[in-house]
Chains A and B, each alone.
Chain A
Amino acid sequence: GEDVEQSLFLSVREGDSSVINCTYTDSSSTYLYWYKQEPGAGLQLLTYIFSNMDMKQDQRLTVLLNKKDKHLSLRIADTQTGDSAIYFCFTGGGNKLTFGTGTQLKVEL
């Protein structure tokens, strides 16, 4: 199967929380990243977590890492229309530099 897996789509209502999930196979990564891609643009770093951490909070963003299950999640609190984008999980490290398939988040009014 894929090295990094994500659901392709997620739809939420404005003001709700969004949770985007990622499972991966390569456990050698020192850092795990979340990138955001807005329409017609390149990817920009949203947040990251060190592999020796379980959780990181950054304003509306919460990253959870379950190393045993090789599962990474991104929670966006109080989701806004400006959060509509594609979100990519990225397992940095090694030479594969693998991205997930990306999850398209649609925020509805």
Chain B
Amino acid sequence: NAGVTQTPKFRVLKTGQSMTLLCAQDMNHEYMYWYRQDPGMGLRLIHYSVGEGTTAKGEVPDGYNVSRLKKQNFLLGLESAAPSQTSVYFCASSYFTSGELFFGEGSRLTVL
């Protein structure tokens, strides 16, 4: 049972490049989330999904897009990366909206 898996774990981009982070969960969870973690700012919610085919904005959605075409996958896209998007990104999933969150190991993104 892998839980929540994120790929890639590390990536370096140049300003303006695009990329996609993939999150996969094998727990049949309805809810999935993307957070970013920056020093002194805790975790901030970027986008989330309450089920297959749905997405919604979190606290800091600008510059990111997401898709949930399959229940087990939640993709986070950066269309034109900026240095301000240098961060550690965490995916999480939960069975219900106020339930325990299960986190991936994180993806460290550096934008030069």
Contacts and interface: CB of A to CB of B under 8 A. Distances in A.
A98 B43 CA distance: 8
Interface residues of A, number: 28
Contact of B56 (A4, A40, A95): A95
Given A29-B98, A30-B98, A90-B101, A43 B90 contact: yes
Contacts of B35: 99
B91 to A, nearest CB: 9
Contacts of B106: 40-42
B43 A88 contact: yes
A8 B43 contact: no
A101 B101 contact: no
A8 to B, nearest CB: 6
Interface in A18-60: 29-31, 33, 35, 40-45, 48
Interface of B: 4, 33, 35, 40-45, 48, 56, 58-59, 90, 92, 97-101, 103-106
